[in-house]
Structure 1
Amino acid sequence: MLNLLSILTGLLSLVIVIPSQIPLLGWGNWLALPLIAVGVVLGALSSKNTGRNFCLIVFAVAAIRLMIGGGII
């Protein structure tokens, strides 16, 4: 059950992260990061790794975009 919640949290975060890849919308990544962290915690508490790994991939995409944009743009 926790794995499913982690996957759903990751999908919701991905819906926020994808449009945030557009220039001047990078602030959306800051909104997605806490949600991704919740997904990682839920995935870590689960017996399976699928949800946690998915959330970590979404986190990597958001973090790389924030680093490229200097944390703001």
Structure 2
Amino acid sequence: MLNLLSFLFGIVSLVIVIPATIPLLGWANWLALPLIAIGVVLGQLSSSNSGRNFNLIVLLIAAVRLTLGGGVI
């Protein structure tokens, strides 16, 4: 059950992160980061690692985009 919740948080976060790759929408990554963190914690608490790994991939995408844009842009 926790793994399913972790996937749901990851999918919602991915829906926010994908449009945030467009220039001048990088601020949306800051909205997605708390959701990603909750998804990682839920994935860690579950017996399966797939939800956690999915959230970590989404976190990597958001973090790379934030560093390329200087944290805001």
| TM-score, structure 2 as length reference | 0.99
1:49 is matched with: 49
**What's the CA shift for 1:65?**
0.2
1:23 alignment partner AA: P
CA distance in 2, matches of 1:55, 1:20: 16
| TM-score, structure 1 as length reference | 0.99
Runs of 4+ in 1 over 4 A off after TM superposition: none
Length, aligned pairs only:
73
RMSD: 0.2
5+ residue gaps in structure 2?
none
Percent of residue pairs bearing the same amino acid type: 74
CA distance in 1, matches of 2:50, 2:34: 19
1:72 is matched with: 72
CA distance in 2, matches of 1:6, 1:50: 9
**What's the CA shift for 1:40?**
0.1
1:62 is matched with: 62
**What's the CA shift for 1:34?**
0.4
